Every structure is written in C-alpha cells, then in structure tokens.
C-alpha cells in the first residue's frame, strides 16, 4: 500500500508514524513544503522569549532526538521529501504532482492520500502590509525572523494586531525581551474564547504587566519610511511602532483540495467524516486544514489545535489500515499561559449556548486553588455554563494565578460524558491541602449552579450591575465584608454592612428597592441574601464572583 501525506508538521507525521506501526509494509511518503518537520508550533512564542533555548528542542523527541528526515527514514520507515511542494492532485489517476526546490517536477502515485496541509496566517488587504518588520508567527522561519529583529535591539515598540491565543502568548515574549507592547483588537474584548466578563479581567492583568490593550479598534493601514513600518494607523489614532506582529487568526490551507474537487465545509475547512475521510474515500484530511465537529451541538466548527491534529492523525491511520475508529469531535478545550496567569476553557460559552437553544444558567466562582491556609494558595476565577432544564454542564472557563487546567480537564471530561452539575458536584476528586480545597473549585461552582436551578439563589453578573448603575436605577448594592476588608477596597456606591450585623441593621436596607449583595467572592453575599429573604425582602440577588471579579474602575481604597 502506497500512502502519500501532504504536510509534515503535526498531523502528517502522527499519521505516518501510526501507519508504520500498524502496517510496516506500507510505503509512506511525507511531502513537506518547508524545511522543518514535526515541530511544536505552539512552542514558538517560548522560543522567541528564550524559555526554549534552541530551535531543535521544538523538533526533538522527549529524549532529545531531532525528528528530521533521517529520523523518520531510519526509525519510522517513512520517506520524507521536505522543501518539496505538492502542486496538484489527480484523483482519477491517484497521483500527486510535486515540485522540488530546484524547480523540477515529478509524480507520486498513491493508494491512500492524507491532506495535512495545515493553516496559514490570515493577511487582510490592509494598505502597507508589505512593509518591512511586519511579521506573522506561523512557523519556525517566522520565529527566527522575529528573534533576529529582537537581537538587534531595534524593536522597543511592538504592536500585536489581534488578541487571540497567538497574540496573547507572543505578547509575554516581547515584554520579557524588554519591548513596549500594544495589542490592537477589533472585537470588544481580547480572547474571544472567553466570555466578556472573564476576558476583561485578563485585559486588566495585561495592563498591570505594562501591555496596552486597545479593543474595539480597527487597523486601517500601516505607514513607513524607507520601506520599513513606523506606524500603525487605526480608527482610534496612529501608533508609533518598530515592529508589528499580525496575529488575527488562521485560515485552513485548502487550495489543493479545492482544485481537485474535494468538498469544503461551511467553516471553509475540508469536510470530513468521523474517520477523517473526505468525499473521496481514498483521501483523508487531518489537522488544521480539516473541519471539526462540536461534540455538544453536533455542528461543524473550526478550532485548529495541535492536540486535535495528533488525535485526528491516529484516527486516519487506523482507518487507512482497516481498523474501525472514529474521531468524536471537539469541545475546544484550550489553555494558555499569560505571564503568571492561566487562561483555560472548554465547551460552549454563554452566547454560544444561548444560540444553540439552551436555557442557560451560569455562575462565577472565585476561590483559592488549594486549601486557603496553604502559603502557596493562589486565586482562581472559574465560570460554569449549564442547561437549566436538564442540569447538564455545557462549558467552563478559568483564569487566574491558580491551577486552571485540571479544573477545565475535569469539566471537559464531564461534558463529554453528558454529566449534570449534580453529578459534577458529587465527583470523588482527590484532596489534600497542598493540591486542592476540601471541596474543589469546580465542585463549589457546580453547587452554585444547583442552587440557582433550585431557586435558592438568584445571581447577577458584574456587567449587569454596572448597567444598573449606568442607567441610574435605584437599588441597594450591599457589601457584607468586614470593616477591615472594606477599608482596603470598596466599590463606589455600595452600602457596607458586615454579614454579622445584617439582622440588626434591617432598618438601613430599603425593602422597596432591589438589593444586590456581595462580598469578596459572594459566599457571604449568598448568606446575606438568604437572611434578607427570610425577613421579607422580595427582590434580592447575589453578584456573581464578588469584588474579586468586579472589573470596572469604580473601586476606591
């Protein structure tokens, strides 16, 4: 059996390696346009910052062996044609036309063909984009060009266009190398993988690290001198700059597929079935060029991730070798590091869940990531999204200095299994003070959702509270923290009554007005709301997340 794989970064080599294990007699060839093979593209920002010292570390096995063409030939029995471009596919004759670096062409025949052509950086038609010192970060060559520029110490002012995953990860790299960084994002918030009330807290954290965030800002052009960029032109003014990184997203590389009649899905990626098969049964597509399926909605989606690419490569290899296997789809589980902050998410966001037809209930639950008395306990802000009707968990998001990934991994597992928040709340998770609170953060959050579904608590987001302030609505914003806490920090317009004094201070709280209670994390706010309801107050809500998740500027202290 002859197998040709077009693309040699992540999904392609994974497919080739698995085929070799299952069908050692198969003749497998990887065609890769670039020079480098099987490298960790997600590690490029850390190579730029110097955390990863050498380029070869991104292309090495865990024991340090570089995965080059010699490695694939000797260890994997895979023939690698790097610096070779696949230019055409003839489905009828089952051949691939390739062009070598010297310009010569040849035909490769195949029994099975795997498209692992990846994605390319989006480059919109913005005037001046061709100027020098405007980079993207799609491959090792891009990272080397950026590192070379930084080594000249001639890029003190850097603008990152785009506030998605690549943009936020590379921002840290530039700050660590001494640059002044501005991030320009067209959307209202950076990190569209997060809901707005979570994203705005990440923006505040970026500001604390010296990164200027300009959201709701459109880049309309680039200006330059001597063919080198020196300003970014936006609808909110010009920004002086020495270097620009374009990080506004990735687009699936599908030209080869389109030209030979392979079907493209609604996300503009290659349409595949659960075996990663295209409309041609002898052609498969894996990795960033292939369309995904959302596990919850069963709708097509496009979420390019190296983790997904590797799993898809395994499924395609199994199918090619006659083993029944299926790729179930994705939840978009993602985690990234921003300085000392973790940002992670899985499943649906609030608006996504609403658009999918769910009766959505959410909670915000900030708490230490381990027992509060441990000296290394760090704050973690967690959000859960669930279906009010069934109680099923739909999504989770976590940000903060604490450990986020394990909570999101628990949520991803629970969502994949179709678990309800009641089932999540009763999970038998491991506990010891150095690792987690007695009731883990995700269990606490699940219980808050349960309380909301049962009608024992009515929550309100900080965004909605701010909207009440802005609209001039009359309500009591009740801060039930201790006097010492309030002296350190308080929200302007709030009424301060410690929780222990609520029962003796009811005359200070107007029964005719709505009440929004809160504390540091709103656990005491919840208790205050229960007391008020017991005493005849009808319209009482609890501000989700408390003052820890209040992102606005009306804070005094």
Angle, alpha carbons 114-118-124 (nearest 5°): 145
The question of whether 42 is a catalytic residue gets the answer yes
- Residues 336 and 317: their CA atoms lie apart, in Å, by 29
- Residues 286 and 14: their CA atoms lie apart, in Å, by 10
Q: Which of 328, 343, 356, 355 is nearest to 413 (CA)?
A: 328
Q: Which of 319, 275, 279, 280 is nearest to 293 (CA)?
A: 275
Q: Which residue is listed with tokens 């498969």?
A: 284
- Residues 250 and 118: their CA atoms lie apart, in Å, by 9
- Residues 320 and 327: their CA atoms lie apart, in Å, by 14
Element containing residue 96 per DSSP (H, E)? strand 95-99
What is the Cα 315 distance to its own chain's centre?
24
- Which is catalytic among the residues 42, 179, 301, 363? 42
DSSP annotation of 338 reads E
Distances (CA, A) of 438 to 105, 369, 399, 432, 519: 65, 10, 20, 7, 21
SS3 percent helix, strand, coil of the chain, rounded to 5, is 30, 30, 40
- H-only helix segments in 105-139: none
Residue 409, classed as helix, strand or coil, is: helix
- Residues 269 and 312: their CA atoms lie apart, in Å, by 14
Burial of 124 (0-12, 13-18, 19+ CB in 10 A): exposed
Q: How many residues does the chain have?
A: 557
- Residues 29 and 79: their CA atoms lie apart, in Å, by 5
Residues assigned a catalytic role: 42
């Amino acid at each position: 059996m002859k197998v040709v794989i077009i693309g040699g970064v992540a999904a392609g080599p994974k497919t080739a390696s698995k085929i070799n294990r299952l069908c050692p007699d198969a003749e497998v060839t990887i065609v890769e346009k670039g020079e480098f093979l099987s490298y960790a593209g997600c590690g490029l920002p850390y190579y730029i910052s110097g955390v990863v010292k050498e380029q070869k570390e991104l292309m090495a096995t865990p024991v340090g062996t570089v995965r080059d063409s010699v490695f694939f030939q000797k260890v994997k029995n895979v023939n690698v044609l790097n610096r070779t471009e696949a230019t055409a596919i003839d489905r009828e004759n089952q051949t691939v036309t390739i062009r070598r670096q010297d310009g010569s062409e040849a035909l490769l025949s195949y029994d099975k063909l795997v498209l692992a052509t990846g994605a390319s950086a989006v480059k919109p038609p913005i005037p001046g984009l061709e100027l020098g010192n405007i980079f993207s970060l799609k491959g090792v060559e891009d990272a080397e060009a950026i590192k070379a520029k930084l080594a000249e110490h001639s890029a003190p002012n850097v603008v990152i266009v785009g506030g998605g995953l690549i943009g936020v990860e590379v921002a840290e790299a530039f700050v660590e190398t001494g640059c002044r960084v501005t991030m320009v994002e067209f959307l209202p918030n950076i990190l569209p993988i997060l809901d707005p009330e979570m994203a705005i807290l990440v923006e505040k954290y970026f500001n604390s690290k010296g990164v200027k965030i300009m959201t709701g800002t459109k880049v309309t052009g680039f200006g330059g001198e001597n063919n080198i960029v020196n300003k970014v032109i936006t609808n909110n003014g010009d920004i002086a700059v020495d270097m620009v990184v374009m990080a506004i997203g990735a687009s699936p590389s599908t030209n080869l597929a389109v030209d030979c009649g392979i079907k493209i899905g609604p996300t503009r990626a290659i349409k595949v079935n659960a075996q990663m098969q295209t409309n041609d049964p002898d052609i498969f597509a894996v990795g960033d060029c292939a369309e995904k399926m959302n596990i919850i909605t069963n709708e097509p989606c496009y979420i390019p991730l190296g983790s997904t690419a590797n799993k898809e490569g395994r499924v395609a290899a199994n199918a090619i070798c006659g083993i029944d296997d299926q790729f179930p789809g994705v939840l978009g589980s993602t985690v990234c590091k921003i300085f000392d902050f973790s940002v992670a998410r899985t499943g649906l966001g609030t608006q996504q869940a609403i658009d999918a037809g769910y009766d959505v209930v959410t909670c915000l639950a900030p708490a230490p990531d381990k027992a509060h008395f441990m000296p290394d306990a760090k704050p973690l802000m967690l959000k859960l999204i669930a279906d009010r009707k069934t109680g099923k968990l739909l999504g989770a998001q976590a940000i903060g200095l604490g450990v986020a990934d394990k909570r999101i991994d628990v949520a991803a597992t629970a969502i994949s299994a179709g678990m309800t928040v009641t089932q999540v709340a009763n999970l038998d998770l491991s506990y010891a003070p150095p690792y987690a609170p007695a009731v883990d953060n995700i269990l606490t959050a699940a219980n808050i959702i349960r309380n909301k579904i049962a009608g024992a608590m009515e929550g309100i987001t900080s965004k909605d509270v701010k909207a009440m302030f802005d609209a001039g609505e009359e309500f009591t914003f009740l801060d039930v923290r201790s006097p010492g806490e309030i002296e350190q920090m308080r929200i302007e317009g709030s009424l301060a009554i410690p929780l222990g004094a609520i029962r003796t201070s009811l005359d200070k709280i107007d029964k005719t007005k709505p009440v929004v209670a809160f504390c540091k994390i709103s656990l005491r706010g919840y208790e205050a709301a229960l007391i008020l309801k017991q005493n005849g107050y009808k319209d009482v809500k609890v501000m989700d997340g408390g003052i820890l998740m209040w992102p606005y500027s009306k804070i005094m202290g």
